[in-house]
Amino acid sequence: MKIAFAGTPEIAATILQSIIDKKDHQVVCVITSVDKPSGRGRKLKPSPVKKIALENNLTLMQPDSPKSEEFINEFKNYQCDVLLVVAYGHILTEELLETPQYGSVNIHASLLPKYRGAAPIQRAILNGDKKSGLTFMKMTKGLDSGPMSKRFEIKIEKEDTTADLTSKMASIAAKEVNKFCSDWPNLIDSLEEQNETDASYCPKITRNDAVIKWSDEAKKISKTINAMYPNPIISIDVNGVGINLCKSKVNKKLIGDPGEIIEFNKNILAIGCGDFAVEITELCRTGKNKLSIKDFYNGAQKLLKEGDIIS
């Protein structure tokens, strides 16, 4: 199969790399988002998919507008058999989706029709879902509403962060994608329509979602912390030092005032909530690498102390 690939984040890069490594299919072009400013210096940063494309000398397109006539005409020149889309981040026109011989396929990070839209992984964790999954579907002009081909269920563990669940999904998709592309021409006639009654939508996560109130229930706070890692991430200010909370769990054995550091040693950092406590299991200073509590404690004994209140 001659494949055109459209994607942007790490999960898409993992899937693209699998296609390249397996060599069952030819990647005729790669489409990804334009470079975005990043970090304190606001330097332009290429997407993970762009990095893979450049490392493998693949034809790369980064249209300012994927709806532009110029881009669509250029895309048609590659005469691909299928367009494979994984978290590209932009709406594609019906004209472009129907250009490949066998249409276009989206690998969506939810068990459709649940969580159509931009943030299915984060929303599943925020809502405390016990499972999520991947859906391989034919793309139509509607938002993630096309007929489905394959679905793969994935268990969500209590402490899974968005990074954890994304990694699980990337591994499964990378394992399945090559066989799926080979089978796709024979699967088109046996697709399952989505049940619109069961459809739900998940808007893009914003900085406003990355806010916690220590007076809320510990379960809600923990889910928010885990859902927001790695981006946009929950950050707190402690004595003028920014600290990012990366992973957490509920601790029902400890109780304290909302925002109170109940216990802090090399084994535990527990913060009081509206009912119980949230135990932070991974964290870091802003701009630094993620650490376990033991490693963080070794360098932060003077920064935090039991009884401090985090606002």
Domains and CATH numbers, the chain: 2-202 (3.40.50.170), 207-300 (3.10.25.10)
- CA geometry: angle at 280 spanning 277 and 284, to 5°? 150
Please, which pLDDT band fits residue 96 given cuts at 50, 70 and 90? very high
CA nearest to 228, candidates 213, 247, 252, 201: 247
Mean pLDDT over 200-216 rounds to 94
- CA geometry: angle at 248 spanning 37 and 153, to 5°? 80
Contacts of 78 (CB under 8 A, 6+ apart): 2, 4, 28, 29, 59
**Helix 162-187 × helix 10-22 angle, to 10°:** 50
Lowest-pLDDT choice from 34-43, 47-56, 195-204, 246-255: 34-43
Q: Which residue has the tokens 């790695």?
A: 230
Please, which pLDDT band fits residue 311 given cuts at 50, 70 and 90? confident
pLDDT of residue 233: 95
Q: Which residue has the tokens 């494979």?
A: 84
Cα 244 off chain centre by: 18
Please, which pLDDT band fits residue 241 given cuts at 50, 70 and 90? confident
Structure tokens at 272: 């009081």
**SS3 category, 86:** strand
The residue type of 35 is D
- The predicted-structure confidence for 28-86, as pLDDT tens digits, reads as follows 999 999 999 887 778 899 999 999 999 999 999 999 999 999 999 999 999 999 999 99
d(CA 65, CA 206): 22
pLDDT of residue 151: 97
